[in-house]
Structure 1
């Protein structure tokens, strides 16, 4: 599933599209891009893009299978780029109400300045990616009077990651044994890298230096869906699993090498086979932790093996599966370190779940849309 694309953010001329697109008069200005404030523990902090014209578009969405993520300008004077998410896709109408209340589809102006009976413009276009961009296009037209312009998901993931890694300091970090450390990115040595986006599914994408922005989709996995489905077997949704796992002890349910020889994990859920117990005899907290360890470890292992196969030194993890959960990041990091014998490390992104939405936002200038 290989493809070459021109990066909509960095606009390299090394790779050309079949036809030249007209450069828009006003482009998104990334100079001075920074994270607002000095709270380095904040997840999804506001991004400042201070040097914009009033003609810049205000809203883009990533409408996934489970969650809706929004990126929009809150204040054009300061260039506050708001990052907002965790709206369940099943509650799409609540998202539309929020957009309408802030008039984001009309440029973000104070809704009190608009007449409720004023007809919407047929020319308004909102950039969106994800499966919901197709599924809910008619609903956006009906409720807000706007057209959805659908962007390719992988295009947006890569564009969003490139933007964060190239333009934003204190974005990437490592997390090992509870210790978080920011990574300074050498822009001249960023490419190639492996981007692992963990949502409902897991996408592994090789981002390579052939004109920045070119990429190849390598592997897709459905491991997270397995976790969510198994969680429902104990009547827990994903957020519940994360919360329960913090109080769990996987040693009560996993068979360890220590049970045989001494050492690390041997078989996930192994004790449910060897012990004369029913699933109901085990605590939900312990089941949740074992499930989370199993999925996170496998993601880390498979990611490193793909990086090894394609000769990639850097591995960045994003996606809403992570959610800043320390144990998840520690488990992924351990797997990468273990299988690489310490030669590779997992790196994470503060705006982990918003790569697609950020990439969709950046795509306006690619098409000359305002």
Structure 2
């Protein structure tokens, strides 16, 4: 392990290294960065660190390892290209990359170039923040599990709620207003509210991604980022909306490590 790729973001520190020809992955909460540095010092005391992400400076400050900091956007694009090639055997493809971390960034990626087109503050930080306010916990895994048990239709105002039994100009299950029934549903639970929160996040992200795809005339949407890890509901909503909009959604297995992979490769 002479070289380690690190993505130090707002919530997590992700690491990629190669051992016997195989890439290995580790992650720590940003609050555990001292434990992460201790692991580096004990396990790979002479390795070169290639670091990206908003907290790169923390890694550089806390370690005596040789550190190279690389551009976060370039690392994300390079890591996504690698993942598409390794998992989906897609070489030299053009795609829209949606990185859902604490916030969300949307890129246009070609075989030889990339552009960060737009971003939004809606992302994993939104889910944890609103989840804490709604459910009293900031544990990501617990929030995801509870959202999966909820029914967002008890909270969101749907098109069919407005039109009743009359013919609707849109699909009846489309959202007319996120959280639009929250004040009317006496039996709604915190889990229902969390499900509605994921729906809100997914709808916001997919609408922005689809606009970029339309402008760039690209059909493939590639979703990466730690917010997707174990988050089956978010993946489901993003996938269904992508399909309904005529896009192909791809979710690389190790998409949470796209930035760290890119740093390793650069």
CA deviation string 1:151-180 (max 9, x = no partner): 1101100111112223x1xx24xxxxxxxx
The structure 1 segments of at least 4 consecutive aligned residues displaced by more than 3 Å after TM superposition are none
Does residue 134 of the first structure (1) align with residue 57 of the second (2)? yes
Which residue of the other structure, out of 166, 179, 182, is the alignment partner of 1:269?
179
Aligned to 2:231: 325
Following superposition of structure 1 onto structure 2, how do residues 270-349 of structure 1 map, counting pairs within 5 Å?
270-273=180-183, 275=184, 282-338=188-244, 340=245, 343-349=246-252
**Aligned-pair distance for 1:196?**
0.8
For 2:6 and 2:236, the matched residues in 1 are separated by 30
Give yes or no for contact 2:8–2:56 (8 Å, CA) kept in 1: yes
Gap runs ≥5 in structure 2: 165-171
With structure 2 as the length reference, what TM-score do the two structures score? 0.89
**Aligned-pair distance for 1:126?**
1.5
Give yes or no for contact 1:64–1:89 (8 Å, CA) kept in 2: yes
**Aligned-pair distance for 1:357?**
0.5
CA deviation string 1:16-74 (max 9, x = no partner): xxxxxxxxxxxxxxxxxxxxxxxxxxxxxxxxxxxxxxxx7331211111001011123
Aligned to 1:93: 34
**Aligned-pair distance for 1:193?**
1.2
Which residue of the other structure, out of 27, 51, 65, is the alignment partner of 1:146?
65
For 1:93 and 1:268, the matched residues in 2 are separated by 40
For 1:310 and 1:81, the matched residues in 2 are separated by 33
Which residue of the other structure, out of 217, 222, 234, is the alignment partner of 2:116?
217
Which residue of the other structure, out of 207, 222, 228, is the alignment partner of 2:109?
207
**Aligned-pair distance for 1:291?**
0.2
CA deviation string 1:125-148 (max 9, x = no partner): 4211111111332211xxxx2232
Which residue of the other structure, out of 150, 153, 161, is the alignment partner of 1:248?
150
Give yes or no for contact 2:154–2:185 (8 Å, CA) kept in 1: no
Give yes or no for contact 2:18–2:24 (8 Å, CA) kept in 1: yes
For 2:122 and 2:212, the matched residues in 1 are separated by 16
Q: Larger helix proportion, structure 1 or 2?
A: 2
Give yes or no for contact 1:159–1:213 (8 Å, CA) kept in 2: no
Which residue of the other structure, out of 68, 78, 95, is the alignment partner of 2:13?
68
Gap runs ≥5 in structure 1: 1-55, 108-124, 173-183, 364-370
Which residue of the other structure, out of 165, 187, 195, is the alignment partner of 2:97?
195
Are residues 256 and 99 of structure 1, via their aligned partners in 2, closer, same or farther at CA, if it must alter by over 3 Å? same
For 1:105 and 1:324, the matched residues in 2 are separated by 32
With structure 1 as the length reference, what TM-score do the two structures score? 0.65
Which residue of the other structure, out of 81, 96, 104, is the alignment partner of 2:23?
81
Are residues 198 and 158 of structure 1, via their aligned partners in 2, closer, same or farther at CA, if it must alter by over 3 Å? same
Following superposition of structure 1 onto structure 2, how do residues 3-14 of structure 1 map, counting pairs within 5 Å?
none
RMSD over equivalenced CA pairs, Å? 1.9
SS in 1 for 2:247: coil
SS in 1 for 2:227: coil
Give yes or no for contact 2:99–2:223 (8 Å, CA) kept in 1: yes
